[in-house]
Each structure stands twice: as C-alpha cells, then as structure tokens.
Amino acid sequence: MTQHVAARTGPITLLAAGHACVDVYQGAIAALVPFFVAERAYTYAAAAGLVLAASLLSSVVQPLFGALTDRWPMPWLLPVSTLIGGLGVALCGITDSYPLALAFVALSGIGVAAFHPESARVARAASGGSHTAMSWFSLGGNLGFATAPVMVAAVVALGGLDATPVLLVPAVLGSVLCLLAVRAVTAPRPAAPGAGPVAGTDDWRSFGRLSGSVVCRSIVFVGLSAFLSLYGMERTGGGEVAGTIALFVLYLGGAVGTVLGGTLANRFGRVAVVRWSNAVAVLAVAGVVFVPGPPLFVFVALTSACLYVPFSLSITLGQDYLPRRVGTASGVTLGLTVSVGGLASPLIGAVADHTSLQVALAPLIAVPALSWLLLRRLREPATP
C-alpha cells in the first residue's frame, strides 16, 4: 500500500512543482506591469496590452494542443514549453521596443499554453483520476502565481527591467522537474476518436456552461491581477510595497482556495461548491473595489479564495463531462477559458485611462453573478 501511494504521489509532486515553475510566468506578466509603467512610461492601455499578448495566443493555441494530446501523448512538451515560457519573460524587459516586448510576452504565452493540456493529461494518468491529487497539481500552479510578484519585485528592484533574464532560472528548474516527472510516470496513450470503446458520453451542453463560468472567473482574476498592484498603491497609499503585497495576496489566496475547494467538494459536491463560491465572490469583489485602506487586503484574499475554490474542480468536472476528450477538456478549462480573461484587460485599461481605476474595475462585480447564473442548472457528471 505504501509503495502504491508513493508511486502516485511522487510524480504528482514533481508535476505540481513543475506547474509552479511554469505559472510563475503567468503571474510575472501582471507583476511587471507597474515597472513598465514607471520605466517605459506605458499608459494603462499599453501595459494591459502586454497581458493581452500573453493571453491571446494562449487562447488560440491551447485547444489545439489539447486536441493533439487526445490523439498522441507528447510528454516532451512539458520541459520544452517550460523553457519557452521562461525565455519570453526573460527577454521582454531588455528591449525598449514595445512591439518586441509584445512578441516576447506572446512567446511566453505560447510556452504556457503548450504546457497545460499535456500536463493535465499526464497528471490525471499519474493520479489515477483522484480529485485530491489533481487539486495538489493545481496548487502548484497557484503557488507559482503567488511567488511571481515577490520574485519579479526582487529582481527588478536590484537591476530594473534589464534584469529580467534572471527570471529564466525557474524555467530551467521546472524543465528538470518535468523531465523527472515524465520518467517517473508512463501515461497511457489516449484512444483516438473511433479507435475503441471509451467509458462515458461527452456532455457538451454541461461542458459549455462550465466553460462559460470559467471565462467569467478568468475575466475577474486577470482583470484584477493586471491592475491590482497599481490599485493597491492608490487605495492604501502604501507605495510599490503595498501594490506588491496586494498582488501577492491575490495569488496566495488562490492556493488556499484550491485546497479548500477539494475539501468542500468531498462534503458538498463539486457543482454546489463551484456555484456558491461564485455567489460569495460578488461581495468579495465589491469590497476590493470600494473598501479603502488596509482592509482592501482582506477583500483581496477573500476574492482570490472564491475565484480559486472552483479551479481544480472545474478541471476534473470538464474532464468528466468530456471523458472521450480529456485533452480537449483540459485545454479549455485549464487554458483557453483562463486566457480569454486577458481579452478584457485592454478594455479595463482604456476605461481607466479616461476615468479612474475604480470606475474601470467596478463592472467586475457583476461578472461572478453571471457565472452563478450559468451554473444554476448544472448537475454533477454521470459516472460510468
């Protein structure tokens, strides 16, 4: 029994650590925004364009990688995509050219996009379908997000944006961890469509509702992450330190929410937990927008937890709604719908340029309510 548990937890631990190294680069883009504003004199809209560049190609590419992994295992993608994700961020700060910075950030987005569908497939195989193990895999990504603002602030504080090549270090480490994980687990080849019987029936209607909910979550999270450093500085009067702390709390709260989500789901069911976390998120986001001073950090933490409670649950729900297309489900719930949130960032930035950050962020309060409506009639997937 001990050997069996170790055989499952070892690869999951390595994959979770590799996931953390990759998602540093998702968090790094938002963490770099205040420094591009300060050192390159970017407008809010231009800075938000960097977030969009990282998200846009991910939105297009991620489902493609998901469909490919439904047909052929590509574990080599894990170390390669990790390096690509890090390389783009490492290069984006050393150029004075805005188009080049966009190109490097987009390159990082492609690397991140390539990582997630295959890593979710390998993690599912390594975990034996355990929801708890998948939550630990997701937790790794949350910790990577949480580490990003602190890491970026430390590196840029020492050498400015010209020091971003130092941020390649997590990519090198993550690549090694992914290589070890791939060697530790032999993931079964998923059956190609029509190649043989697969347990379960794809429920596209439920999957569509779930995906719409994840898009809503993404719009709120990416919108906040792109501007929270600047907004935290503005609302607390604490300078760059306050902005960094606010972003760190947003990302760290996601780690807490992911673990809490798995625990609550075991008791109340995944769909119920996902639904009610969105309801509470409405009040939490309102607190972020309207409550000034240090209490802002409390509402940031609550918002983050509410947004991340459904995170790993949405991945396993998506895979269970599309049991014949696990890679596609992973590419959408873990990638496409998450990336789509970045499309809203330039709009938020443009409104902020003409009004204020508070006015621009206020519409985000209604987005979790829309997510709740999409989930209102969702049911747990049928089990074979």
- For residue 359, the tally of other CB atoms under 10 A from its CB is 13
Amino acid identity of 202? D
Q: What is the CA radius of gyration of the chain?
A: 20
Instruction: Mark the ranges of the chain whose per-residue pLDDT is less than 50.
Output: 1-7, 187-197
Contacts of 194 by beta carbon, 8 Å cutoff, 6+ apart: none
Q: Give the alpha-carbon dihedral of 331, 333, 334, 336, to 10 degrees.
A: 60
Two tokens, residue 50:
């960097």
* Cα three-residue angle 131-132-137, rounded to 5 degrees: 95
Two tokens, residue 354:
């003409």
- What local confidence, expressed as pLDDT, does residue 195 receive? 40
- What local confidence, expressed as pLDDT, does residue 256 receive? 83
- What local confidence, expressed as pLDDT, does residue 287 receive? 95
273: left (phi over 0), alpha (psi -120 to 50) or beta: alpha
Contacts of 118 by beta carbon, 8 Å cutoff, 6+ apart: 65, 69, 73, 74, 75, 77, 78, 81, 327
Buried b (16+ CB within 10 A) or exposed e, 256-281: bbbbbbbebbeeeebbebbbbbbebb
- For residue 242, the tally of other CB atoms under 10 A from its CB is 20
Whole-angstrom distance, CA of residue 260 vs CA of residue 174: 26
Whole-angstrom distance, CA of residue 25 vs CA of residue 111: 9
Two tokens, residue 323:
């049991």
Contacts of 296 by beta carbon, 8 Å cutoff, 6+ apart: 232, 235, 236, 246, 287, 288
Render pLDDT for 259-311 as a digit per residue (tens, 0 to 9): 888 788 888 888 999 999 999 999 999 999 999 888 999 999 999 999 989 88
Q: 35: part of which helix (H) or strand (E)? A: helix 2-40
- What local confidence, expressed as pLDDT, does residue 46 receive? 85
- What local confidence, expressed as pLDDT, does residue 40 receive? 84
Taking alpha carbons only, the member of 69, 94, 99, 131 closest to residue 310 is 131
Q: 60: part of which helix (H) or strand (E)? A: helix 44-71
Contact in structure between 178 and 83 (CB atoms under 8 Å): no
- What local confidence, expressed as pLDDT, does residue 188 receive? 47
- What local confidence, expressed as pLDDT, does residue 71 receive? 78
- What local confidence, expressed as pLDDT, does residue 213 receive? 93
- What local confidence, expressed as pLDDT, does residue 17 receive? 92
Domains of the chain with bracketed CATH: 2-375 (1.20.1250.20)
Whole-angstrom distance, CA of residue 252 vs CA of residue 278: 18
pTM for this structure?
A: 0.72
